[in-house]
Amino acid sequence: MIIDVHGHYTTAPAALGAWRELQIASLADPHKAPRPGDLEISDDELRESIETNQLAKMRERGCDLTVFSPRASFMAHHIGNFQTSSAWAAICNELCFRVSALYPGHFIGAAMLPQSPGASTTTCIPELERCINDYGFVGINLNPDPSGGHWTSPPLTDRYWYPLYEKMVDLEIPAMIHVSTSCNPCFHTTGAHYLNADTTAFMQCLTGDLFGDFPTLKFLIPHGGGAVPYHWGRFRGLAQELKKPLLDEHLLNNIFFDTCVYHQAGIDLLTKVIPVKNVLFASEMIGAVRGVDPQTGHYFDDTRRYIEATSNLSEEERDLVYEGNARRVFPRLDAVLKAQGR
């Protein structure tokens, strides 16, 4: 079985974007404020958007199940205030839930949180609980920089985030650490901000002792861990300078990397450097890089091909990357699969 732990609903019907445009316009002119009920998307429209896109590619590539969350770049937590994010997150999460209900064998949800710069993280908990308890979601996406590229929130090791971690531990859900669109002109969203955030989050955890406080907390760092595996020697050396334990002990019981690295040499490095138990299959399809690689004739984001081709993994290890690790990191996913007899 092949589980893709990193998929976003990037192909939602256009009505969703139109609703968001109205919501943004209403920040300047409250008369324009749309109500949640103004958004009407039928099940057929959802099916059309999924079957011709994600599900078609999953079938082509042999992927069975995707952990599916709202489009990351559209979270845009920097827009408006908590109420803005709250209404937007509720709508986006509900759409992902409806997709998971239409295709229970193929999609299962992960929640976007209604984060807002400066707002207490406790404000996110009702939506989080709704998604886990009512929608059967199995994880969340946590944005370490709700300012959108200005990095005005405290590091992930700060107690600011602890209410969320307490809830995550209670509910046994991991968080993918995933920023949203950059409104800082220095940072291209998918070419710089995403990768920088991955590296930044890892180093924040390295310098702190967060997992001393939360031994069962789990973070999934997307995009192959940003720069981290390529600079694994640097991070091992920095941990040593900072008198931290070895990374295996200090971080690798709690931090995991996905395989959203879009060429063979990158996957070869990832699977050589990072212990197999810490690598989870993912493609972020359909996402930032949608084209066909002229060097291979295959989609850049068809990461299964790289996993199949790497000489670093035995068949047993490949199964861990495809399925076993995901079932361990997402216990609620494992429970759903078992209930489905899978």
Contact criterion met (CB below 8 Å) for 148 and 77? yes
Contact criterion met (CB below 8 Å) for 74 and 24? no
Whose Cβ is closer to its own copies: residue 9's or residue 300's?
Answer: 300
Secondary structure class of 238 (helix, strand, coil): helix
Q: How far apart are CA 102 and CA 119, in angstroms?
A: 34
Secondary structure class of 245 (helix, strand, coil): coil
CA 178 to chain centre: 5
CB of 227 to its own copies, least distance (A): 4
- What angle do the packed helices 14-28 and 82-102 form, to 10 degrees? 170
- 127, 284, 317, 323: the active-site residue: 284
- CB-count burial class (<10 Å; 0-12, 13-18, 19+) for 64: middle
CB of 144 to its own copies, least distance (A): 8
Structure tokens at 322: 């495809």
Whose Cβ is closer to its own copies: residue 289's or residue 335's?
Answer: 289
Q: Which residues lie across from 68 on neighbouring strands?
A: 7, 109
CB of 56 to its own copies, least distance (A): 20
CB of 186 to its own copies, least distance (A): 4
Give the list of residues 6+ apart from residue 342 with CB closer than 8 angstroms, or none: 1
Whose Cβ is closer to its own copies: residue 295's or residue 315's?
Answer: 295
Whose Cβ is closer to its own copies: residue 47's or residue 236's?
Answer: 236
94 is catalytic: no
Neighbour tally for 153: CB within 10 Å: 20
CB of 333 to its own copies, least distance (A): 27
Whose Cβ is closer to its own copies: residue 76's or residue 273's?
Answer: 273
Strands 3-9 and 107-112: unpaired
Whose Cβ is closer to its own copies: residue 26's or residue 204's?
Answer: 204
CB of 228 to its own copies, least distance (A): 9
R_g of the chain computed on alpha carbons: 19
Q: Which residues bind its own copies (CB under 8 A)?
A: 144-145, 149-151, 153-155, 184-188, 190-192, 195-196, 199-200, 203-204, 206-207, 223-224, 226-227, 229-238, 240-241, 261-266, 268-269, 272-273, 288-291, 293-295, 300-301
Query: Which positions are catalytic?
Result: 284
